[in-house]
Amino acid sequence: MAAAPPCPKRCPRRSARLLGGLFCSLAALSTLTFLAGGGHEELLSRSLPLLLAAGGGQQPVGAPLLPADDAFLLVPRPGACAPSGPWLLVLVASAPGHVAQRQAVRRSWGGARRAAGRSLWTVFGLGMPGEPEQQAALEREAREHGDLLQARFVDSYANLTLKTLALLGWAAARCPDVRFLVKADDDVFLNLPALARHLGQLAGPPAAYLGRIHWRVHPSRDPRSRHHVPASLYPERAFPPYCSGTAYVLSAPAAAAVLGAARQLPLLPLEDAFVGLCARRAGIAPRHLAHMAGAARFPPDACCYREVLFSVHSVAPAQMVAMWEAAEQPCSAWQRALGLARCKALAWLAALAL
């Protein structure tokens, strides 16, 4: 075979093109990593206080909307918030029939009383069931665990906003020394040690509202949808930015401001959008937490659940307990280095497999 001819002058140009392609690939990879980490959302989140200030800033809000003394059928055991309340109070929106979900939470992250050196407590909020025997079962559960808060309204999806207001109002009235409140669904796995460490490092104004932000969500005008919001109730074309209702954090001052604004706004059936509206009314901008999964689904992975993410949604009871019982240090060095980008890649691959 004949030897290759000497490289003509165009070879350096080819090398330059190869180097250029390499640099473009590295730039694209950096951009993808930035997006996977939620950096773009964090930048948007930081711009919200300026937008609110430009729009007039904080609006006057009334006194917090607190529940009446007879607003509840079942209340958590007395003394849980005395003499001083927990530093972090987790308010879990549940339903009368979700016994397996509540038990899984108790057997996993919800059974902890301290995280990252901070005291915490978990309470389950629910309404009234349709069957008398189910009410009797709830009363037995309340006597055994002392962590049920049952309000006097029918438990339904349409009443989820009432449930959230009942939980926040009870906390404001009975646990006044709480520093932060987390509202979560009962199919959410919370990484409380990581979340408590993050909250303990927060700087800035005391009225904090944090979570996975939803941007430019349009209300459904379809009367057949359970998310239906008629224009007569909310005429604007889009909701303001708000944190996903799967799990979000309110500091105590922010919770009081939300309860105050709730008196002045129409009660929307979408609780997370309603909380966002109350926050806007009070001049509180949501802050994006990329480590909150929001409505995204992540496959079972102890590293993601126990170290990287703050919250994971749509976790079955058995899966929740299994992730809690995983090794205390589930991340290898390379997994820890990849962090959030790796967890999001796993979620993306799992979605492709469906």
- Give 107-157 pLDDT, tens digit per residue: 999 999 999 999 999 999 999 998 889 999 999 999 999 999 999 999 999
pLDDT score of 88 more than 90: yes
Which segments of the chain belong to CATH 3.90.550.50?
Answer: 72-220+234-288
- Give 188-238 pLDDT, tens digit per residue: 999 999 999 999 998 776 899 999 999 999 999 999 999 999 999 999 999
Q: Which long-range contacts (CB under 8 A, 24 or more apart) does 118-121 make?
A: 118/86, 118/87, 118/88, 118/196, 118/200, 119/86, 119/87, 119/88, 120/86, 120/87, 120/88, 120/89, 120/90, 120/192, 120/196, 121/80, 121/81, 121/86, 121/88, 121/89, 121/90
- Residues near 48 by beta carbon (within 8 Å), at least 6 away in sequence: 241, 285, 286
Cβ–Cβ < 8 Å for 177, 81: yes
Token pair of 321, please? Answer: 């307990």
Token pair of 117, please? Answer: 């050196």
- Whole-number Å distance between alpha carbons of 181 and 89: 5
Mean pLDDT for the stretch of residues 336-352: 93
- Whole-number Å distance between alpha carbons of 285 and 283: 6
Instruction: Report residue 39's pLDDT band, with 50, 70 and 90 as the boundaries.
Output: very low
Instruction: Report residue 59's pLDDT band, with 50, 70 and 90 as the boundaries.
Output: low
Q: Which residues pair with 352 in a beta bridge?
A: none
Name the 3-class secondary structure at 283. Answer: coil
Instruction: Report residue 61's pLDDT band, with 50, 70 and 90 as the boundaries.
Output: low
Instruction: Report residue 353's pLDDT band, with 50, 70 and 90 as the boundaries.
Output: confident
Instruction: Report residue 78's pLDDT band, with 50, 70 and 90 as the boundaries.
Output: confident
The residue type found at 176 is P
> Of 215, 210, 242, 241, nearest to 310 (Cα)?
210
Q: Strand 118-128 vs strand 189-190: parallel, antiparallel, or unpaired? A: unpaired
- Residues near 23 by beta carbon (within 8 Å), at least 6 away in sequence: none
- Give 266-317 pLDDT, tens digit per residue: 999 999 999 999 999 999 999 999 999 998 899 999 999 999 999 999 999 9
Strand segments, DSSP code E, in the chain are 72-74, 88-93, 114-115, 118-128, 148-154, 180-185, 189-190, 209-214, 242-251, 287-288, 311-312
- Whole-number Å distance between alpha carbons of 177 and 125: 20
Flag the least confident range among 7-11, 100-104, 118-122, 334-338.
7-11
Q: Can you tell me which residue has the tokens 């199919």?
A: 187
Cα(first)–Cα(last) distance of the chain, in Å?
52
- Whole-number Å distance between alpha carbons of 321 and 312: 13
Give the pTM.
Answer: 0.83
Cβ–Cβ < 8 Å for 144, 167: no
CATH class for the region spanning 72-220+234-288: alpha beta
> Of 294, 295, 293, 271, nearest to 343 (Cα)?
293
